[in-house]
Amino acid sequence: MSFSSQRTFFRVPFRDEEPRRLPERKRSDCQLKSYHSCADFRAMSMDPKVSAQYAMDVVHKARWPRVRVRPSEGLTREYLMFIETEELIDFVMSFIEELKKAKMKLAEYEQNRRDQQKQLELVQRAAEQELIQRRTEVVDQAKVEEELADLKEIILRLKCKADRCDCLEQENHCLRKKIHCLKKEKKPEMKEKCDEKIDCGDSPQVDCDRVKAEMALIRNYCEELKQQKRTLMEELQKSKINHCKDSNLRNQLIQEQCRREQLQEKFDNLQKVVELAKPSSIVKDTQILDGHFCCHLLVPWISHE
């Protein structure tokens, strides 16, 4: 259609004719069509009214407008005037999905913020409790020394008991060997000799059971002693730490006392210097005043002469 409407302006002259100057036209006169000629059945209608309405729609560009680009800032009034329903629905659905994702992210952020706030409160409470506990703890040096002495005595007792347990274990081991020998030996004379050496009871099985029971009791007692030893060592370590802290505080107090004595000595020296400087300044002031007085007396006498 654009060729048929503009072909008169592009006529090629013959050889014997002078070339004609092309008329000036606007850019919009030769624009391509913005409609689909096969999308509307009115283009092939035999009814003149229908074809006339189709031609009017084509001229006014009211039937098939050009596809508009979606604005980057969102939906605007000018865009909504020419938008189709399906495109509007797609835009709304995508907007709803984005809104759901934003809500989910916001909920996750709020949950994380609450969890971090709870953790911070727990840490603050623990720190406050520890600070209060440290403030309330009062370390007594004499008490610490007494506890250290008690712990040393308990450790020595435990060592003695452990040595005794080791001796008992060795004795039990020897007894087991002897019992094993008695079981292997078949001669009664050897059994009598072993019985005399071992000095056991009526039957070796009874003595063996009794020894096993004693061994179990001794093992339990050893385990209890080991546990007590661990607890006592932990208490000793804590008392050593407290003793170190006390020694550090004592050293700091001694240093502060030395600094205070040095400052007191400096203050006393300065005070002495000030007291010594006061009479000399008074003498100088009196000398200056005497000189001024003599000058005042001599000036009138010299002028009179």
What does the pLDDT profile of the chain (305 residues) look like in tens digits? 444 454 455 567 787 887 766 666 555 555 555 555 555 677 777 888 888 888 887 777 654 445 555 566 666 777 677 666 777 787 788 888 889 999 999 989 889 888 888 888 888 888 888 888 777 665 556 676 777 788 888 888 887 777 777 777 777 777 777 777 777 765 555 555 555 555 544 456 677 777 778 888 888 888 888 888 888 888 888 888 887 887 788 888 888 888 888 888 888 888 888 888 765 554 455 455 455 444 444 444 444 44
Residues 6+ apart with CB under 8 A from 82: 65, 68
Residue 7 tokens, joined: 């072909």
**Using CA of residue 231, residue 233, residue 235, residue 238, what is the dihedral sign?**
negative
As given in the structure block, the two tokens for residue 37 are: 């000629």
Q: Scanning the structure block, which residue is given the tokens 């729609």?
A: 57
In 3D, which of 207, 203, 201 has the Cα closest to residue 175? 207
Query: pLDDT digit string (tens) for 93-127?
Result: 888 888 999 999 998 988 988 888 888 888 888 88
Q: Considering the entire predicted model, what is its pTM?
A: 0.24
Name the DSSP letter for residue 64: S
Among candidate residues 226, 241, 65, 70, the one with its CA nearest the CA of residue 158: 226
Domain boundaries, the chain: 65-138, 139-186+205-274
CA-CA distances (angstroms) from residue 222 to 10, 154, 227?
120, 15, 9
